[in-house]
Amino acid sequence: MINGISINMYLMLSTILFTIGAVGVMARRNIIILFMCIELMLNAVNLLLVAFSVLHHDSAGQVFVFFVMAVAAAEVAVGLAILSMIYRNIKSIDSDLLRNLKN
């Protein structure tokens, strides 16, 4: 139990957040929404890592969360740079229009 909240509650919340993110990635076509859904999935995993880290009195999970957040920030920076170049070329951020880039 962490501050009166059982680990099952953290597990359920993380599962719900990850599911919302996964459904958003599969259902949406807007690239910005896709980035937000991927971040939601990463944060769901981070929540579980911190919860289990506190439960087991081990700081390794919290250190791993720090590195995951750093990689996620880099991913967003690179992704938004690529997105701005795509928008400059095709004037849309719809992921279906990216299929034209193959030709």
Q: Is the pLDDT of residue 67 over 80?
A: yes
Higher pLDDT pick, 2 / 85: 85
User: Is residue 80 a part of any domain in this protein?
Assistant: yes
User: Is residue 32 a part of any domain in this protein?
Assistant: yes
User: Is residue 2 a part of any domain in this protein?
Assistant: no
Q: At what angle do helices 31-55 and 60-90 cross, to 10 degrees?
A: 180
Nearest CA among 86, 79, 72 for reference residue 32:
79
Q: To 5 degrees, how large is the angle CA 13–CA 41–CA 74? A: 140
User: Is residue 94 a part of any domain in this protein?
Assistant: yes
Q: How far is CA 50 from the centre of its chain?
A: 16
Q: How many domains does the chain have?
A: 1
Task: For 2-59, write each residue's pLDDT tens digit.
Answer: 677 888 999 999 999 999 999 999 998 788 888 889 999 999 999 999 999 988 888 8
Mean pLDDT check: name the lowest of 43-47, 60-64, 85-89.
85-89
User: Is residue 30 a part of any domain in this protein?
Assistant: yes
User: Is residue 15 a part of any domain in this protein?
Assistant: yes
The CATH number assigned to the domain holding 18 equals 1.10.287.3510
Q: Which residue has the tokens 């769901």?
A: 44
Mean pLDDT of 80-92: 81
pLDDT of residue 31: 80
Q: Is the pLDDT of residue 89 over 80?
A: no
97: containing domain? 7-102
- Please give the Cα distance from 38 to 85 (Å, whole number): 20
